[in-house]
A and B are shown apart, each in its own frame.
Chain A
Amino acid sequence: MIIGEQKPLDEIIAMVEKEGGGRILVAGCRSCVAVCLAGGEEEVEQLASSLREHSDDRSLGWELRTVTLQRQCERSFDEAISELVDWSDALVSLGCGVGAQVLSEVYPRRVILPAIDTSSMGAPEGGGKWKERCSGCGDCTIHLSGGICPIARCSKMLQNGPCGGSQEGKCETSPERDCAWQLIYDHLRAKDRLDLLEASLPPKDWSRSRDGGPRTVVRGRGSGR
């Protein structure tokens, strides 16, 4: 799923003020960002009431309405809210960066204010944590590393083993961050497959990642190969 988190309220308020306030529609999404508690129905209502409070305290006269779409990244869902969008002066998206862009495409005359900072593709860890798992490199090789991706999970994207900064299971960049190569090692050792780590991986073909330019997947044609 896509992981994101809401921007700080004052940043959202600043964006809305810059757009002139007025009638404000807050549009969330029931998919990924709802799961990571950033842009689901509840967060949409909370944000709307915070904006209302801000307006009331200062007599700005903002009007607020809300909607939470099934999937903000699909045009058909976005098209279904045209009446609300027509009503609004400002449109705050609580979808991920993809959802906000599609909304913007469907309503080209509107400025879409992104209220979520989208960070990564990841998974819930429990305890209110979501961790990055995949960087979308376009050429998956996790079968060689115990099902753990070193591109997304090692701070240096190292493909042939840990750097010299890995200590006691943690990454040199933070005691809060697991070293991906320690995870890979532990996993393969438990499986008795450390032999997999003896093979050297040659320089990666990054042309299939974002480095090759924005990617388009066409059904039946394979991933840009």
Chain B
Amino acid sequence: MRSDSALERLLADGEFVVTSEIGPPKSADGEDVRRKARLMKGHADAFNVTDNQTAIVRMSSLAASLFCIQEGVEPIMQMTCRDRNRLAMQSEMLGAGALGVKNLLCITGDHQKFGNQPQSRNVFDLDSTQQLMVFKRMRDEGEMWCGDSIKVPPRMFLGAAANPFADPLELGVVRLAKKAVAGADFIQTQAIFDLQRFDEWMGMVRSRGIDKDVHILAGIIPLRSAKAARFMASKVPGMSVPDEVLARMSRASDEKAEGLRICLETIEELRGRPGIDGIHLMPVNWESALPEITERAGLLPRPQARR
């Protein structure tokens, strides 16, 4: 095992894992994170703690991860390349390791233009592939990127993101292969509504054998309303929501119920796909949906990781 992560253990044991998401608050209220953690505990194996998501300032992912740990919930700390140079990244990796964070997700980060402070500078000293290279070296070689040795290296299960719906499709797969070599142990995908395109992508991933090197968790967002679906289709970068899904949502008399139905159907479809080792559920602005989804999808109770 590369880490003491329960997520890593479950994946190694061949469990179909469930990860979800906890968004830190736009405040210094630690109780907010604890409350969410308590609400969601037991409904997923680990929880992404987002890092200034969509470039909106929130409590740091490290601090919020610590609140999760205190509630007995395993965090997957996200870290964007947008906000930190390699010095800050390495020091935060050390701090996170010391504080008991066991999973770290390396991501590029949405452009600051989407946030509430578009006047800020971005960093991008490293891209997410290079970030993985640095963290892998720290963990496996016990060395900083510059070669200085680390007495107590961080033990961390490393993740990365992939978007099957971004263009050019083929180049996205090449980039995923690079991430796998660079150090990604697991991958979470963008939310899947367009199964046809997903299958096309997954076919390319499998034909390169990338699914043998990394665990792939399929991204799922339950649609809360037809309006939310339209927003995602048109305003969120890198999303693909087919017309058919939009039509189902706008026809529905009970939009929430229809959203859950679509979500459960998608999970059922994806569970049968070779190379998919779990799902990543992102109940954006709808945290309370998580228990119902995991229950109805037959994903409960979550297994205990062997120690």
Q: Which of B81, B178, B238 contacts A167 (CB 8 A)?
A: B238
A161 to B108, CA, bound (A): 11
Interface residues on A, range: 20 to 34
| Segment at the B interface, from A52-60, A72-80, A117-125, A200-208 | A200-208
A62 close to B (CB within 8 Å): no
Question: Which of B128, B170, B175 has its CB near the most chain A CB atoms (within 10 A)?
Answer: B175
List chain A residues, Cβ under 8 A from B165: 164, 167
Number of interface residues of B (CB under 8 A): 39
- Cβ < 8 Å to B, chain A residues 70-107: none
Q: Mark A191-225, 1 if CB is under 8 A from B, else 0.
A: 00010011011111010000000000000000000
| Segment at the B interface, from A10-18, A25-33, A39-47, A151-159 | A151-159
Q: Are B125 and A169 in contact (CB under 8 A)?
A: no
A138 to B168, CA, bound (A): 29
B129 close to A (CB within 8 Å): yes
Q: Are A164 and B190 in contact (CB under 8 A)?
A: yes
A160 close to B (CB within 8 Å): yes
A114 close to B (CB within 8 Å): no
Q: Which of B108, B114, B133, B182 contacts A163 (CB 8 A)?
A: B108
> Total number of A-B contacts with CB less than 8 angstroms?
107
Q: Which of B124, B130, B175 contacts A202 (CB 8 A)?
A: B130
List chain B residues, Cβ under 8 A from A155: 111
A172 close to B (CB within 8 Å): yes
Nearest CB of A to B239, in Å: 9
- Cβ < 8 Å to A, chain B residues 205-247: 237-238
Q: Are B167 and A167 in contact (CB under 8 A)?
A: yes
A31 to B86, CA, bound (A): 39
Q: Are A162 and B167 in contact (CB under 8 A)?
A: yes
A172 to B177, CA, bound (A): 22
Question: Which of A158, A169, A194 has its CB near the most chain B CB atoms (within 10 A)?
Answer: A158
B161 close to A (CB within 8 Å): yes
Q: Which of A157, A168, A186, A200 contacts B182 (CB 8 A)?
A: A200
| Segment at the B interface, from A1-9, A126-134, A177-185 | A177-185
A49 close to B (CB within 8 Å): no
A160 to B67, CA, bound (A): 34
Which residue on chain A has the smallest CB distance to residue B126? Answer: A203
Q: Are B81 and A156 in contact (CB under 8 A)?
A: yes
Q: Are A164 and B238 in contact (CB under 8 A)?
A: yes
List chain A residues, Cβ under 8 A from B171: 161-162, 181, 185, 197
Given contacts A161-B175, A165-B110, A172-B238, contact A181 B130 (CB under 8 A): no
Q: Which of A163, A165, A185, A201 contacts B130 (CB 8 A)?
A: A201
B287 close to A (CB within 8 Å): no
A166 close to B (CB within 8 Å): yes
B152 close to A (CB within 8 Å): no
Residue numbers of A with Cβ under 8 A of B are 155-169, 172-173, 179, 181-182, 185-186, 194, 197-198, 200-204, 206
Interchain Cβ contacts under 8 Å between A and B, 30 examples: A156-B81, A156-B122, A157-B124, A160-B128, A160-B175, A160-B178, A161-B172, A162-B171, A162-B172, A162-B175, A163-B166, A164-B161, A164-B165, A164-B166, A165-B110, A167-B166, A167-B238, A169-B167, A172-B114, A172-B238, A181-B168, A185-B170, A186-B168, A194-B170, A198-B174, A200-B129, A200-B133, A200-B178, A202-B130, A202-B133
